Structure 1
Amino acid sequence: MQNHYRRLPSPFWLLLLAVPLALLPFRIALGASLGMVLLILTLIDPIWALYAAILSVPVQELIQLPGGLSITQATLLLMLGSLGLHTLAAPERPLRFGRLFGPLALFLLALLSALIFTPFSRTEATRELLRWATVPLVYLLTLRALDGRAGQSNWRVYGLLACLLLAPASNAALGLVQFWFGIGPESFGAGGGRMRAYGTIGQPNSFAGYMNQAWPLALSLTGGVGVRIIQGVVGAHATRAHQQHRTQFLLLALLGGTTGLLLAGLLTSFSRGGWVGALGGMVVLSLATLIALPAPLRRWAQRGMLGIAGGMLLLILLGGGGLLPSSLAGRLGSITSSLRLFDVRGAVVTPENFAVVERMAHIQAAWNMYQRYPITGVGPGNYSLAFESLPDPGMTPISTRPWYTSRGHAHNYYLHIAAEAGSLGLAAYLFLLAGIAYQAVRAIRSAPNLLWLSIALGATGISATVAVHNLFENLHVLNMGLQLGTIWALLVLAEGHHKEQKI
């Protein structure tokens, strides 16, 4: 009987699969077919699970699977299974942890401690802990899929870079459509019939954070291709160099257009925190680039950075002269007011200052949480519960009335994590940032070629941008940690690996 089945032709098995699919509704059949293809590809190579997880972030709220499972949750399960199977199937290649796994694990331990001692909901704390656990998961899978073993081709790296840019860029394109045609809720109005871009992320500020997790990589890769073209032109006749590097010119245009699209999405989000974060990331990226490039190429980099600085100065001058659209000029001018700290209890709320006072009310509530629970905080994911909780007899309320409803975060992640995980959580998070900074320096110094130097610079710029933007927002939401965890893994991989790859 067993031999009889073996003699059956392969089309028989395809027909056996096709018949039940043909009887299903088209959407279900299409989803099942794509799911089976992805499952097979993941069994062959774990990189496909990584691609799927990164690409799922923009559509996580749009695609729901049976049982209420989101597409991102499904890809996370696929990632976990893929990592386990491929690790067990190749015991001669042990799991690689890298320098950043220790700080990530320490931060998870701090969150676990806060979960154990939370005075509020352990269910919410467990959910937040699991959300953060996806970061080391995608980090480990990236190190596994791109472990640099002999004979591993370059397409995995190029495919990963494409996914890291394609997912945010597609969202940026949607955000520009929303901005231009005024599509969105009335509260997102930006004046002149326009709407703040929010993409599929749902909120303009979080959308800006998503843009900030991509444009530095796109910009650094654009610069890397530009440097390669310049080297070719200098080393050969210009016409001949143009013929030899035709593909690189096309790649330069594609990456440059992607960078512009991402920055346009960031601009039309009208997120002041996003703009300040981008400025901080640009400063760090510029300094790192000047330090990393060899002396002959620094002049080209300096000219490019002077051009960028000149553009920013022009933007400020136009705003001061009233030549920018009033909505954009007003948003730029209000950045300083959003940085001011004050006591909400004495504030007079008006329609003009409502957003600023509300932001400060959430910051002040987070500080009250930290003062009341300074060691382990109110528990991961319990900010809103603590904010809206009624005080015990004789205790002052955590939130400041009349702010009864929480927005979900403290508008400052450093204070937010201090409120939710106490001093232990804040110290662990700062240690993680210090580890990322150290790894970035090592990666930039040790990058074996221009491709990995560009990746290291872009990952450094993203890490700096997120660190600054988190002063005004919580960017560790909506599974955007999948993007960040992959970026941090690339910093580890850039340190002296993949010497055979070229840009």
Structure 2
Amino acid sequence: MARDVAPTRSIDGLGEPLTTDQQRDTTSGRTASRSATLPGSAMAFPVDPGIGVGAFARKTAPPPAWMVAIPIGLAIALIPAYLTSVLLVGVAGVAVLMARPLWALYALAFTVPYQGLADFRYQNVNVTPTEAVFLLLVVGWGTARAAGRVPSPSLTPLVIAIGLLLSLLVLSCVVAPNLVLAGKELVKWVEVAGVTLIGQSLLVRIADRRMMFLVMTAAVVSQAVYGLLQATLHWGPDHFMIGTWLMRAYGSFEQPNPYAGYLGLHLPLVLSVALFGVRTRPA
């Protein structure tokens, strides 16, 4: 004797039969309450379609703001005031340089000549702010490049030449008597190659190139003035004296030779732009 089979629906496509248990008032905007019946069993259990994502979201709700503010406030209260100011300025600077990699490129124009004033030694190697700013430049530029906000750099003859030089430096490290010093010089040329590549990608507009030149010129002029004061006011060690009235200038490079090399590299560029870089409009 055949029995009538109640209509069935499936739960998540598993084919489990559903029977209507009770229908609530549809005008209230609520969904109908249902009950699921296991195959071969007369027992039914309620099924609430609102359970699931909503309950999971309630369980993973973010903590209240005061739970985050209390440890930050305690840390600020316990740390000395000057150190708190330094940390706040440092965190703000890191955020700005990562968000604006072009500003990190501008900052390198000043950190390179003045890096000797804030360096520290680690494993017989001097670590300077230039390495930190260069790292922020690479991270910020890489993020902007992944988002498609900056163009990709091109392989110019200068980049290819620096790449060949880096290859030779890597090979020379195999026979270098001091791997620490060899690695230090290799890092310097890696930074030069990185700045050259990233500079091609960031310095696209004429206004950005002009600003880069102005920042670099300001750094060079400040070093020249600093060296002039050292030479005339005798700011430096006695063995830098030339006779009894003049001293060899060294700027912030600690030695006169690298200081002279820095000024000698930038002087032709500054003079050429100052003499021939300004376009005159016809009357």
Bin for the TM-score computed over the shorter chain: 0.5 to 0.7
Say whether residues 1:48 and 2:103 are aligned partners: yes
Aligned AA for 2:274? T
Higher relative contact order structure (alpha carbons within 8 Å, sequence separation ≥ 6): 1
**1:62-115 residue CA offsets vs partner (Å, 9 max, x unmatched):** 114797742122112212222322222228833433332111111111111112
Match in the other structure for 2:83: 28
**Aligned equivalents of 1:167 and 1:199: distance in 2?**
11
Q: More displaced, 88-97 or 125-134?
A: 88-97
Q: Give aligned-pair identity as a percent.
A: 27
Quote the residue 1:86 is aligned against: 144
- CA distance in 2 between counterparts of 1:146 and 1:194 reads 41
Deviation at 1:146, TM superposition (A): 1.4
| Residues 96, 143 of structure 1: 8 Å contact kept | yes
- 2:172 pairs with 102, 106, 114, which one? 114
**1-structure distance, mates of 2:225, 2:127:** 27
Structure with more of its chain in helix, by fraction = 1
User: Which of the residues 109, 117, 121 maps onto 1:62?
Assistant: 117
1:147 is aligned to 204
Contact 2:116 2:254 in 1 (8 A): no
Size of the alignment, in residue pairs?
219
Q: CA deviation at 1:43?
A: 2.8
SS in 2 for 1:213: helix
Letter in 1 for 2:172: A
What is the alpha-carbon distance in structure 2 between the residues aligned to residue 34 and residue 127 of structure 1? Answer: 29
Task: Please state if 1:180 is matched with 2:232.
Answer: yes
1: CA distance, partners of 2:193 / 2:173: 18
Question: Following the alignment from structure 2 to structure 1, what is the Cα–Cα distance between the partners of residues 235 and 100?
Answer: 40
Q: 1:16 to 1:99 in 2, by over 3 A?
A: farther
Which residue identity lines up with residue 104 of structure 1 in the other structure?
A: I
Cα shift at 1:222: 1.9
Whether contact under 8 Å (1:58, 1:201) holds in the other structure is yes
Deviates more, 1:121-130 or 1:193-202: 121-130
Residues 337-416 of structure 1 mapped to structure 2, 5 A cutoff: none
**Which structure: greater strand fraction?**
2
Cα deviation for residue 220 of structure 1 reads 2.2
CA drift of 1:19 comes to 7.6
Partner of 1:169: 221
CA contact (8 A) 2:99 2:140 kept: no
Aligned equivalent of 1:204, options 256, 259, 268: 256
Hey, what's the Cα distance between the residues in 2 that align with 1:58 and 1:94? 28
TM-score (norm 2): 0.66
Among 158, 162, 182, the residue aligned to 1:104: 162
CA distance 1:37–1:16, shift in 2 (3 Å): farther
Q: Name the CA shift for 1:53/1:36 in 2 (closer, same or farther; >3 Å).
A: same
Deviations 1:113-167 (A, max 9, x none): 1122x0623333222212211110111121121134xxxx72x323311221122
Please tell me the residue identity of whatever aligns with 1:217. L
Q: Which amino acid aligns with 2:143?
A: L
Contact 2:102 2:202 in 1 (8 A): yes
Q: Distance in 2 between matches of 1:166 and 1:30?
A: 27
Where structure 2 has 5 or more consecutive residues not aligned to the other structure, the ranges are: 1-60
- Contact 2:114–2:252, Cα closer than 8 Å, also in 1: yes
The C-alpha deviation readout for 1:379-420, integer Å capped at 9, x for no partner, is: xxxxxxxxxxxxxxxxxxxxxxxxxxxxxxxxxxxxxxxxxx
Measured in 2, the distance between the counterparts of 1:21 and 1:3 equals: 21
Native 8 Å contact 2:150 2:201 kept in 1: no
**Which residue of structure 1 lines up, in the alignment, with residue 46 of structure 2?**
none
Higher Cα radius of gyration: 2
- Shift of residue 188 of structure 1? 1.1
Q: Does 1:222 align with 2:277?
A: no
Residues 1:64 and 1:128: Cα distance change in structure 2 (over 3 Å): closer
Question: Does the residue aligned with 1:208 lie in a helix, a strand or coil?
Answer: helix
8 A contact 2:112–2:130 mirrored in 1: yes
Residues of 1 paired with 2:121 and 2:71: CA distance?
A: 23
Call closer, same or farther: CA 1:19–1:141 in 2, change over 3 Å: farther
Deviation at 1:21, TM superposition (A): 4.9
Secondary structure at the aligned position of 2:204 is classed as coil
Summarize the Cα distance change of 1:199–1:123 in structure 2 as closer, same or farther, 3 Å threshold: closer
Question: Under a length normalisation based on structure 1, what TM-score does the superposition of the two structures give?
Answer: 0.39
After superposition, the C-alpha distances for 1:265-312 in whole angstroms (9 at most, x for unaligned) are xxxxxxxxxxxxxxxxxxxxxxxxxxxxxxxxxxxxxxxxxxxxxxxx
1:92 & 1:83 partners in 2: Cα distance? 8
Residue 123 (str. 1) matches residue 180 (str. 2): yes
**Does the CA contact (< 8 Å) of 1:38 and 1:49 recur in 2?**
no
Structure 2 residue matching 1:100: 3-state secondary structure: helix
* CA–CA distance in structure 2, aligned partners of residues 128 and 2 of structure 1: 48
Q: What are the superposed Cα offsets for residues 33-88 of structure 1, whole Å, 9 maximum, x if unpaired?
A: 33222222223221111122221122212114797742122112212222322222
**For residue 112 of structure 1, what is the amino acid of its counterpart?**
V
Aligned match of 1:136 in 166, 187, 193? 193
Flag the 1:137–1:144 CA change in 2: closer, same or farther, 3 A: same
Kindly provide the CA deviation profile for residues 217-240 of structure 1, in whole angstroms up to 9, marking residues without a partner as x. 222222246x54xx34x50xxxxx
Q: How far 1:192 sits from its partner (Å)?
A: 3.5
* C-alpha distance 3-19 of structure 1, shift in aligned 2 (>3 A): closer
Q: Distance in 1 between matches of 2:143 and 2:256?
A: 39
Change (3 A) 1:16 1:3: closer
Distance in 2, Cα, partners of 1:198 & 1:169: 14
Amino acid in structure 2 at the alignment position of 1:51: Y
Matched, 1:76 2:131: no
Deviation of residue 198 (structure 1)? Answer: 0.9
